[in-house]
Amino acid sequence: MKALTLILLIFFTAGREAKIFGRCQLASVLKSNGMDGYRGIHLDDWICLVHHGSGFDSELVTSRKNRKIQFFGIFQIDSHWWCDRKQGYSANLCKRPCSAFLDDDLRDDIACAKKIVLGRQKMNAWDNWQINCKGKNISEWTSNCKFDFYDSG
Ligand SMILES: *[C@@H]1O[C@H](CO)[C@@H](O)[C@H](O)[C@H]1NC(C)=O
Ligand SMILES: [Ca+2]
């Protein structure tokens, strides 16, 4: 019986791809992928955005306008412009299915977020950043995080 429970536990754990990242855990992933200082955007801005946008939940999908536009994953990437949700119009500028932004492999999410801030609006592309982070004192978001990689950053 115990063995069966263990096997089931392993099965369910392995099957779960999405996860809720820790604040400093995510900061470390973003930093090691070159997000800190990218286009002059500080790591605190990214963490503030993700906190208010998705609550660090890589599986989160939200929607607006009668579900015509949906927002995917940790960065809440907009299906109208950036990814294909296989339903209705998308410019699909990141050339990814939106479902790719719901797993715990953030490399493609990060590549897409970098592409988004290359635009004229930079971080203003996200309402959540404009409302909650822009011009605010956000220095506390990563100040107590310890980074294992790229510490010299
Ligand atoms: C931002 O907040 C931190 C801690 O609350 C404080 O130490 C710092 O001086 C503040 N910075 C500004 C520019 O107000
Ligand atoms: Ca992904």
Give the domain ranges of the chain: 23-142
- Phi/psi for 11 (5° steps) reads -60, -50
Cα(82)–Cα(122) distance, integer angstroms: 14
Gap from CA of 12 to ligand 2 centroid (Å): 20
pTM, two decimals, is: 0.84
Residues 132, 95 contacting (CB under 8 angstroms): no
Cα(118)–Cα(15) distance, integer angstroms: 35
Considering every ligand atom shown, identify the ligand nearest to the alpha carbon of residue 72 and give its number.
2
- 14-44: pLDDT as tens digits: 444 568 999 999 999 999 999 999 999 999 9
Gap from CA of 59 to ligand 2 centroid (Å): 10
Cα(124)–Cα(126) distance, integer angstroms: 5
* DSSP for residue 77: E
Residues 81, 65 contacting (CB under 8 angstroms): no
- 80-112: pLDDT as tens digits: 999 999 988 999 999 999 999 999 999 999 999
> What angle separates helix 43-53 from helix 23-32, to the nearest 10 degrees?
130
140 Cβ closer than 6 Å to some ligand 1 atom: yes
CATH number of 23-142: 1.10.530.10
